[in-house]
């Protein structure tokens, strides 16, 4: 069992940062890697089981488990090797796949369809995400002496910031273009 880019690699990366329970892993995942790779709690638990069966991780009952089934997971040497193998594989940027761009092409061939409201809505979502990234930036990175891990985490956050800024700028341009060409055939 060797998936291409997958949830297991993201989970092992998170576990290498800090061994924890599945529940804590899912919560941490949402607040960090989850900005770039989405997974439900059920998917995370399912993958943890597969990873343990593959010998990449192990779990043991948590000290504070009591009568619960809480387990703490940690990455094994085989998991580290798999993660290294995966990290060294070349990866092309994914092609954009956004249904809205098809709608915009539809607007181009059919005439004005009134997509401005959708562009404004989407721009608002990008502004919200940018604001969330800026809060993380101010809280965790600005004005701090960063470790190697911190520098790289900040680099990833900067990619998200730049992407959101780009989408906002594009949205403003799209609104201007649609207003300019509204009466053209």
Q: What is the DSSP letter of 34?
A: G
The pLDDT score that the predictor gives to residue 1 is 42
The pLDDT score that the predictor gives to residue 73 is 93
How far is residue 177's CA from residue 79's CA, in Å, rounded to a whole number?
50
Exposed, middle or buried, 57 (CB in 10 Å: 0-12/13-18/19+)?
buried
Mean pLDDT split into 10-residue runs, the chain, 185 residues: 67 89 85 78 90 94 73 94 93 86 93 94 97 96 94 95 98 96 79
- Longest pairwise C-alpha distance within the chain: 71
The pLDDT score that the predictor gives to residue 40 is 85
The pLDDT score that the predictor gives to residue 4 is 47
The pLDDT score that the predictor gives to residue 36 is 74
Cut 0.95: pTM above it: no
């Amino acid at each position: 069992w060797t998936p291409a880019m997958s949830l297991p690699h993201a989970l092992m990366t998170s576990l290498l940062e800090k061994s924890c329970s599945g529940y804590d892993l899912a919560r941490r995942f949402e607040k960090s890697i989850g900005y770039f790779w989405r997974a439900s709690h059920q998917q995370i638990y399912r993958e943890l089981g597969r990873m343990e069966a593959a010998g990449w991780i192990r779990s043991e009952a948590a000290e504070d488990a009591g009568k619960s089934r809480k387990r703490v997971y940690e990455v094994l040497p085989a998991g580290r090797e798999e993660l290294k193998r995966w990290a060294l594989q070349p990866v092309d940027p994914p092609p954009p796949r956004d249904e809205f761009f098809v709608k915009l092409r539809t607007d181009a061939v059919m005439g004005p369809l009134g997509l401005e409201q959708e562009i404004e809505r989407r721009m608002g979502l990008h502004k919200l995400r940018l604001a969330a990234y800026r809060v993380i930036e101010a809280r965790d990175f600005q004005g701090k002496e960063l470790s190697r891990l911190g520098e790289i985490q900040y680099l990833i956050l900067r990619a998200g910031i730049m992407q959101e800024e780009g989408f906002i700028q594009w949205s403003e341009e799209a609104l201007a273009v649609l207003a300019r060409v509204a009466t053209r055939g």
